[in-house]
Chains A and B, each alone.
Chain A
Amino acid sequence: MTTIPDDVKETVVNRFNDDLKKPVRLVFFTQEMECPFCTQTRQMIEEVATFSDKISLEVYDFVKDKDTADELGIDKIPALAILGEKDFGLRFFGIPSGYEFQTLIEGITLVSSEDSQLPEPVKAALTKAATKPVLIQVFVIPTCPVCPVLGAMAFQYAVANDNISVSIVEIAEFPHLANKYDVIGTPKAVINETMQFEGLVPPAEFINFIQKAAQGSPTGISPTI
């Protein structure tokens, strides 16, 4: 079943032809009987995987393949690990539909090119900031037009720095996380469970949050932008 409109497909195929350099592994976790969005998400990922011969798809059962799920840090479904020749730490939980489809495409392109496309001073600032492992959770919803800006930027940071991992979470599918992290507006980022901010922040500010999280600073909230 086709889930992606023809004009979008054509745009993505052209982009993949131009930008995909190295193989990409899409590792998808599902459990058809218990996950309302798993079927739709799997159909979408299966279709995206056909857009380039550089993309391969592996589908796992969240329960039966627990070891693989644990190995990749998958703790909820639907879940997608976007892997290149190495694991840059890019994950997407929930369905990457609406505006979030763009984040998925950015993630695939980034791990394939192995190029964060960040200016050197920004990479240097990340190296200085992420001195310890950092997990950035970015909570999004498909109707949010600015969410892919933060998600894609976080993905760039993960590709640029091995200490940074990023999980994009479609929050409407995980209401318990909306309660846990008090997500009222999107995008919202939670870094190492200690730093959080809502809205978009410029790169220097984002990196400052990462640095504080790596240093183990207490929770801080920036103004909504």
Chain B
Amino acid sequence: MVVNKMTDPQEMYDIVIIGGGVTGLAAAMYAGRMKLKSILIGYPPGGVIATTDWIENYPGFISLSGKELADKIMAHAREYDTEIILDNVTRVDRQNNCFIAHTAFGQYPTKTILFATGSQYRKLDVPGAAEYEGKGVQFCGLCDGPMFQDKTLAVIGGGDSAAKEALILSQWAKEIYIIIRGERLKAEPVNLERVNNNNKIRMISKTNVTSIEGSEHIERVLLDKPYQGNNELLVKGVFIAIGSSPLSDLAKNLGVKTNPKGEIIINRQTETNINGVYAAGDVTDTEFKQAITGVAEGVLAVYEAYKYVGGEHVCTCVDTDYIDCPVSPKDLRSQSK
């Protein structure tokens, strides 16, 4: 059966993929391969991972930047007949068994939806954080680090992203304090070792920032316990790396169920509680959020959407159920000889 010969109007998409990060881009590539009438709508291209300087855990690439990875998957997706629009979806409506995705400039009716909307940097909720955002409270070391040449900086956060942010900033800054709420920096061991070997980086553990102060720009942060006898730490910039929160509002407004963290609840097939609605990547309740797991979920989601709109089961060489496959295992073995 050819999916795009179904009886729906020509302008009806089989799948609208919302989100321009690596999860959405990989899904778009697969949607093209599955010959689904598909469109990806997402902005910015590459998503959050594009602001990462180096990725060393994506199989097949020993080391590359987040932007390089996103560009490669984007180029791969463009090899297929999948539309890509750089814009934000502002609303998704349900209409009978179908959906309509809205942007500021258009409407896109579709049989299925994939939310690959990712996450956004979590903001620090202390006095001064909002006031100085963009004036010294920053979120992207690669983007803003050179503006802090030879300055003293604070990185707030206790995970791997805090470690990486401090390492990036050490290219330009005079010294960097990682301020950790917990007892220790919970980074990937390889990054922890790099931090420990970097003489510009110091760690302040079991400490919270209580406010960010200055005049026109940041001059200091206040700590809830003294560091070297002082609750005041003089810094010119504060980089926030306290994790991210899922961008699930569009899905929630559609009636998609989320957990208390706001993550979309999915099953192993990436299905949500609404038929024809799938989710993948950082926006979901998957525990181990990595580029590779998001990409895998995106691909699974497209396959489920493909079956949902009427596509036939695709047999693979490792399929355990050959009943519906065009050739039997014996035939496959004989063909491979």
Contacts and interface: CB of A to CB of B under 8 A. Distances in A.
Interface in A116-164: 119, 121-122, 125, 141, 143-147, 149, 153
A18 to B, nearest CB: 12
B67 interface: yes
A6 B299 CA distance: 33
Contacts of B51: 145-146
B104 A223 contact: no
A41 interface: no
A192 B28 CA distance: 38
A149 B105 contact: no
Given A119-B106, A221-B134, A223-B134, A145 B87 contact: no
Given A146-B44, A224-B138, A203 B146 contact: no
B138 A119 contact: no
B145 A119 contact: no
A200 B44 contact: yes
A2 to B, nearest CB: 21
B103 to A, nearest CB: 8
Interface size class of chain B, counting residues whose CB lies under 8 Å from the partner chain: 20 to 34
Interface string A93-134: 000000100000000000000000001011001000000000
Interface in B36-58: 43-46, 50-51, 53
Nearest to A188: B134
Contacts of A186: 143-144, 147
B147 A146 contact: no
Interface in B231-282: 237
B94 to A, nearest CB: 23
A119 B143 CA distance: 29
Contacts of A89: none
Interface size class of chain A, counting residues whose CB lies under 8 Å from the partner chain: 20 to 34
Q: Is the interface of A mostly helix, strand, loop or mixed?
A: loop
Contact of B142 (A144, A183, A198, A204): A144
B140 interface: yes
B134 A185 contact: yes
A203 B136 contact: no
A152 to B, nearest CB: 10
Nearest to B103: A204
B143 A145 contact: yes
A121 B51 CA distance: 30
A224 B139 contact: yes
Given A145-B66, A185-B134, A198-B134, A204 B143 contact: no
Contacts of A49: none
A184 B149 CA distance: 11
Contacts of A99: 67
Nearest to A172: B146
Contacts of A184: 134-136, 138, 144, 147, 217, 237
A121 B105 contact: yes
Nearest to A223: B133
A224 B136 CA distance: 11
A61 B67 CA distance: 36
B332 interface: no
Given A145-B50, A224-B133, A185 B143 contact: yes
Given A119-B85, A144-B143, A202-B88, A185 B105 contact: no
B86 interface: yes
A145 B68 CA distance: 9
Contacts of B88: 202, 204
A119 B104 contact: no
A141 B143 CA distance: 7
B147 A178 contact: yes
Contacts of B144: 144, 184-186
B143 A202 contact: no
B211 interface: no
A199 B50 CA distance: 13
Nearest to B171: A143
Contact of A119 (B43, B46, B67, B105): B105
Given A143-B145, A204-B88, 10 more contacts: A119-B85, A145-B142, A146-B140, A184-B138, A184-B144, A199-B134, A202-B104, A203-B86, A223-B133, A224-B134
10 contacts: A143-B146, A144-B142, A144-B143, A145-B51, A184-B135, A185-B138, A200-B43, A203-B105, A221-B134, A224-B139
Q: Which 7 A-B pairs have the closest CB atoms?
A: A204-B104, A121-B105, A145-B67, A224-B134, A144-B143, A185-B144, A202-B88
